[in-house]
């Protein structure tokens, strides 16, 4: 079964919008796990507009499942991750002022840099994943960096799913087959939701994990976390 990791950035955004500590991020993380989430994902950014670095440092105390930290591997981020030593780090090439992640790595152009960063994380026993677009040569390039996994950037799939699901998922299936042939693990995330997740999982061989945040939080405003988490697990099974 594909694992569900819940990105809790939006919970931090809501908290920060008012100040104080409501909603209480650590309690939400603990509750999500009790409702069935198999991992917690955060993406701290340099301006700390949602997840703060002190959140990242505090979360391990309440986590009983996988901890995945995403981000651009600038020196401050590298120091944070090596200090915490989460289960997984996902490298994302987002600019400091990016509203959200909007592109995957060029694993060919940035091979040397990525290989150095990945080697550093792996030396601390941290599994590595690279955020990539569904392009076979980019997946092949990821193999050459030494990464353990890739995370397929699924925004294009989500945008085109309503028009033509088969066409939308086709490049992702090809990229996944390439990753499987190369022995790279496969994660996925960005704009997956209750409508499009099941079809994606059915068409991606050996998909290990999805990271879902924005849509899951929005859906939970109507349905509640305790209901939404099992709904995702059903689609991932």
Active-site residues, by number, are 43, 70, 190
| E strand residue ranges, 8-116 | 39-42, 66-71, 88-91
Cβ proximity of 229 and 32 under 8 Å: yes
Q: What are phi and psi of 103, to 5 degrees?
A: -170, 155
Could you give the 3-state DSSP secondary structure of residue 169? Answer: helix
How far apart (Å, rounded) are the C-alpha atoms in residues 197 and 204? 11
Q: How many CB atoms lie within 10 A of CB 72?
A: 19
How far apart (Å, rounded) are the C-alpha atoms in residues 199 and 119? 34
Could you give the 3-state DSSP secondary structure of residue 100? Answer: coil
């Amino acid at each position: 079964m594909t694992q569900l990791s819940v990105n809790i950035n939006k919970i931090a955004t809501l908290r920060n919008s008012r100040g104080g500590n409501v909603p209480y991020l650590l309690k939400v993380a603990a509750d999500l796990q009790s409702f069935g989430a198999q991992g917690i994902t955060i993406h701290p950014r340099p301006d700390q507009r949602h997840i703060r670095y002190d959140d990242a440092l505090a979360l391990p105390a309440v986590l009983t499942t996988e901890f995945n930290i995403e981000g651009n591997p600038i020196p401050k981020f590298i120091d944070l991750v090596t200090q915490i030593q989460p289960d997984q780090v996902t490298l994302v090439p987002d600019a400091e002022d990016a509203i959200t992640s909007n592109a995957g790595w060029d694993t060919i152009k940035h091979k040397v840099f990525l290989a150095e960063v990945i080697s550093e994380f792996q030396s601390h026993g941290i599994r590595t994943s690279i955020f990539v677009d569904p392009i076979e040569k980019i997946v092949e390039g990821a193999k050459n960096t030494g990464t353990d996994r890739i995370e397929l950037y699924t925004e294009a799939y989500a945008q085109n799913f309503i028009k033509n699901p088969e066409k939308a998922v086709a490049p992702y299936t090809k990229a996944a087959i390439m990753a499987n042939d190369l022995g790279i693990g496969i994660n996925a995330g960005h704009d997956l939701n209750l409508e499009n997740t099941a079809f994606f999982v059915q068409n991606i061989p050996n998909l290990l994990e999805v990271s879902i945040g924005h849509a899951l939080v929005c859906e939970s405003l109507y349905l509640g976390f305790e209901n939404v988490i099992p709904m995702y697990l059903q689609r991932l099974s």
